[in-house]
């Protein structure tokens, strides 16, 4: 009898120990912050109300007020797929391997959804991923896709297009008639609730309403706009009918790009100020439409009690030139193409206060997002991952990088093959095909309208940035450098040796 009693006590003791361990693990899982990544496609950095009084983005601005807006946020390879590769991997262009527009590799050693999933997160992506194959999950438990009509995998049909057929079987989702890379513009001709911007936010909100898992959540919400077509609903366009839109910046070096053949989706050309202003008005309205949807999404996070204990990041993959310097679309070294909105609200940000104005000027880049997520989630960052956690800025722990590297392999025209460096105050651009150099003082010349290459007052500055560029390209060797100097060459190097084969 005594033996049975001791055995019973031992069993109960072990049971309660296991129960305590289980409860502790559950509490730890629940306390782990949620991670919400909100993306737009092709939104330039100056298209936030925080910076530009001509655009209305009150909900995004409020998110910045609850955290921080980094005014020098950049996309190192400013076109869709390489930018998303940097975001996915936490790597610089040379390390993840995409130096221009190419297919995102099927598998990388470290991938955002997979590494978060492996560490206890439920992972879901909604909207545009732009991966290959298009149903590749990269570790997501699930994706619900809108790929802007793009079909790059056999028999692919996006979830948005399937939904549209069910909601409006007699209608054409492309009825507005503006192409995916055009810079013409028009108000959306269908009901607002059929627009992909509304579908993306509503799909995310519906998911949140039903989310009851004990796991912390990683939710990526990726809007396909304001990337063309510039097609906002009319009520948003009406908000801008009396707004003085900013005219395109026009550099003293830009005339050579004015006389390209005119086409509705041309990458270069002078289409007149009126055309550019019309494109901008629709583009701004498309962003305000997205802003309203982000407000709805944030309201649902608050209703669910998830907002305070969440890392929330808002970025775009790259910008849009909108006629600056007679350039359209992206892939260029200039601020309209490379600089992006970059906002972070960290968990319980009210407890840690605001970071300084000086720290807000640090150059951050898409490669820094995954390391930041890992930091907040208590996950060790792999040594190979060369992005940095932006939480170190919040905590004031260490000195940030001095400058960020930018580049893009040949796109649209043979001359458009370049590498650039910037610290947010100065930008140096080197063109690999032509040997052309550009130097801009961004503090005095935010539109990069004056190339300071021959200005004697900047001779020392030019030499300084040339030296930095040589240092940056040193690990690549030839043909980037020859005899320790910057080199011109005809080969187009689209991927680095680090691209996963």
Which among 34, 96, 130, 282 is annotated as catalytic? 130
On whether the CB atoms of residues 349 and 398 are closer than 8 A, the answer is no
Q: In Å, what is the CA distance from 501 to each residue of 100, 258, 497? A: 16, 40, 9
Task: Judge whether 80 counts as a catalytic residue.
Answer: yes
How far apart are alpha carbons 32 and 88 in whole angstroms?
A: 21
Q: In Å, what is the CA distance from 359 to each residue of 194, 392, 393, 395? A: 41, 11, 7, 11
DSSP of 181-227: T---B----S-GGGSHHHHHHHHHHHHHHH---SS-EEEEEEEEEES
DSSP 3-state helix, strand, coil percentages of the chain (rounded to 5)?
Answer: 35, 15, 50
How far apart are alpha carbons 354 and 406 in whole angstroms?
A: 29
Tokens of 466: 């040339």
Helices 58-65 and 273-303, packing angle to 10 deg: 60
> What is the number of residues in the chain?
501
How far apart are alpha carbons 450 and 364 in whole angstroms?
A: 25
Task: Judge whether 419 counts as a catalytic residue.
Answer: no
How far apart are alpha carbons 418 and 452 in whole angstroms?
A: 18
Tokens of 282: 């629709």
How far apart are alpha carbons 154 and 133 in whole angstroms?
A: 9
Among 192, 195, 126, 193, smallest CA distance to 159 is for 126
Q: Check residue 256 and report its DSSP letter.
A: G
Helices 159-167 and 196-210, packing angle to 10 deg: 100
Burial of residue 41 (CB within 10 Å: 0-12, 13-18, 19+) is: buried
Residue labelled with tokens 């996309």: 75
Which among 47, 80, 363, 419 is annotated as catalytic? 80
On whether the CB atoms of residues 291 and 314 are closer than 8 A, the answer is no
Residue 391, φ and ψ in degrees, nearest 5: -65, -25
Tokens of 171: 């209608």
3-class DSSP state of 169: coil
Known catalytic residues are 80, 130
């Amino acid at each position: 009898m005594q033996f049975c009693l001791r055995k019973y006590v031992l069993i109960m003791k072990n049971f309660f120990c296991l129960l305590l361990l289980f409860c502790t693990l559950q509490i730890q899982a629940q306390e782990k912050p949620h991670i919400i990544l909100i993306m737009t496609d092709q939104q330039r950095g100056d298209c936030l109300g925080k910076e530009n009084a001509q655009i209305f983005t009150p909900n995004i601005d409020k998110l910045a007020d609850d955290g921080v807006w980094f005014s020098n946020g950049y996309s190192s390879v400013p076109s869709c797929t390489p930018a998303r590769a940097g975001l996915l991997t936490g790597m610089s262009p040379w390390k993840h391997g995409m130096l221009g527009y190419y297919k995102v590799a099927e598998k990388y050693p470290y991938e955002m959804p997979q590494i978060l999933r492996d560490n206890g997160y439920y992972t879901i992506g909604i909207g545009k991923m732009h991966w290959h194959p298009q149903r590749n999950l990269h570790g997501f438990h699930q994706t619900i896709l809108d790929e802007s009509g793009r079909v790059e995998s056999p028999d692919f049909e996006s979830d948005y297009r399937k939904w549209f057929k069910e909601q409006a079987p007699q209608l054409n989702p492309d009825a507005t008639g503006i192409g995916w890379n055009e810079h013409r513009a028009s108000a959306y001709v269908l009901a607002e609730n059929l627009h992909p911007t509304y579908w993306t936010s509503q799909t995310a909100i519906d998911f949140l309403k039903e989310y009851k898992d004990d796991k912390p959540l990683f939710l990526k919400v990726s809007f396909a706009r304001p990337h063309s077509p510039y097609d906002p609903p009319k009520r948003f366009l009406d908000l801008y009918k009396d707004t003085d839109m900013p005219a395109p910046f026009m550099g003293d070096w830009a005339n050579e790009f004015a006389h390209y053949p005119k086409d509705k989706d041309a990458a270069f050309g002078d289409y007149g100020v009126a055309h550019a202003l019309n494109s901008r008005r629709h583009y701004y309205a498309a962003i305000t439409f997205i802003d309203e949807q982000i407000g709805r999404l944030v309201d649902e996070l608050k209703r669910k009690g998830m907002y305070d204990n969440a890392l929330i990041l808002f970025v775009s993959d790259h910008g849009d030139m909108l006629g600056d310097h007679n350039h359209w679309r992206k892939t260029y070294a200039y601020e309209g193409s490379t600089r992006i909105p970059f906002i972070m609200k960290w968990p319980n940000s009210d407890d840690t206060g605001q970071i300084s104005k000086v720290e807000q000027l640090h150059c951050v880049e898409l490669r820094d997002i995954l390391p930041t997520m890992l930091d907040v989630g208590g996950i060790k960052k792999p040594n190979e991952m060369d992005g940095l956690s932006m939480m170190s800025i919040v905590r004031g722990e260490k000195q940030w990088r001095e400058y960020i590297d930018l580049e893009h392999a040949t796109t649209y025209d043979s001359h458009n093959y370049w590498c650039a460096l910037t610290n947010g105050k100065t930008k140096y651009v080197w063109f690999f095909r032509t040997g052309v150099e550009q130097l801009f003082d961004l503090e005095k010349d935010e539109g990069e309208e004056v190339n300071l290459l021959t200005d004697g007052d900047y001779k020392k500055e030019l030499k300084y940035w040339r030296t930095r560029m040589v240092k940056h390209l040193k690990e690549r060797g030839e043909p980037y450098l020859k005899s320790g100097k910057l080199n011109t060459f005809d080969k187009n190097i689209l991927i680095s040796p680090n691209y996963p084969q």
